[in-house]
Amino acid sequence: MQDRAHLVALRHELHRFPEVSGDEAETARRIADTLRAHRPDQLLTGLGGHGIAAVFNGAGPGPTVLIRAELDGLPIEEISTADYRSQHTGFGHLCGHDGHMVMVVALAEQLAQQRPACGRVVLAFQPAEETGKGAAAFRADPRFSDIAPDYAFSLHNLPGLALGEVRLCAAAANCASRGMRISLMGKTSHAAAPGDGLSPMEAMAALMPSLITLGQGGALNADYALVTLTHARLGEATFGIAPGAGEIWATLRTVNDTRMTQLCEAAEALVQAEATRHGLTLSISYDDIFEACENHPVAVGHLQSALTDAGVAWQMTDAPQRWSEDFGQFAKGAKSAMFWLGSGENQPQLHNPDYDFPDALIPTGAGVFLRLIRNILG
Ligand SMILES: [Zn+2]
Ligand SMILES: [Zn+2]
């Protein structure tokens, strides 16, 4: 990984053409073309949408090690003066997935030169991480059972942490979260006679603060619960009609899946009681469902050794990230762990319009992954 100019060029190329979750066709084509040049033993495309897996076999039998990157960008307009700024109006690679992809591409180059001594490596590029749908879809593809890993690893760059330093969680790594969509139906009426209809206004006015009291954040432990209202709508934008329907969207967040089940039950009971009190019809649905993402102690041990061997400064933390990650899906059936790679103390935050992945991290992340692979598979 001495000469990384071509990797930086690839990162900038991916950055120019971001595609949102589920729509990553061109990104996937670019990645697959690059991987093909390194002659993997297997190249699977179209996994769970636009997902890709490149498989590099070792000489002898052994475990399967999967390294995960994400294909998707975000529906956010980028603010940048870089010559490689997004060419897709309204879209940007503002979570650094362009950088994550290039780190994993760098592994293909190394594995092409020297295959693992045993087992095999699966370089996985999953679609739709930002919506929480991609990893599950990737795993649900029937072809996944042929490449099911024994170990799975990934990283996410982390603004606020010194450039190139690593933070690693012993257990819980990312929170569980889900979007709860509450629809309340009554009856419209003429604005001159609101009493002839049934407006969800009072129920909504009561529910919004009471939903928040169910989860007020606090310490990131097993009891942690946070309810954030993200959207609300009452009736239509008109002066002639008293509203007959309303919606509240809330994001529920916990450290573990058991607490999430409890929080959902409590929120549903609260909403049901309020709807009943006001004679409203209720429907509840969920979207953007992320299960908790937990690191396995054996995988964490491998990561610690690889970080030390690679000469990367690292620290352990008990606190998981508040955000969610569908990498937790890869923990099903595999010993998995993900780590945080500092992208700089003064770096804009993920999903900020002025965020940009630091190219200096490419050899650091790729180097840790390569060390992991060599340590486990030789
Ligand atoms: Zn993101
Ligand atoms: Zn991300």
In contact, 163 and 360? CB cutoff 8 Å: yes
If you measure from the C-alpha of residue 87 to the centroid of ligand 1, how many angstroms do you get, rounded to a whole number? 19
- Token readout for 135 is 């990893």
CA distances in angstroms from 252 to 128, 178, 216, 286, 306, listed in the order given: 20, 5, 10, 10, 35
| Contact predicate 99/31, CB 8 Å | no
160: left (phi over 0), alpha (psi -120 to 50) or beta: left
pLDDT tier, 35 (very low <50, low <70, confident <90, very high otherwise):
very high
Least distant ligand from the CA of 357: 2
Q: What is the pLDDT of residue 241?
A: 98
Ligand 2 center from residue 284 Cα (angstroms) = 28
What is the rounded distance in angstroms from the CA atom of residue 165 to the CA atom of residue 305? 15
Q: Ligand 2 centre and the CA of 28: distance in Å?
A: 17
Convert the pLDDT of each residue in 351-362 to its tens digit: 999 999 999 999
What number is the average pLDDT over the span 31-42?
A: 98
315 Cα: distance to centroid of ligand 2 (angstroms): 21
Nearest ligand to the C-alpha of residue 99?
A: 2
Ligand 2 mean position to 254 CA, how many Å? 19
What's the confidence (pLDDT) of residue 236? 96
pTM for this model (two decimals) = 0.90
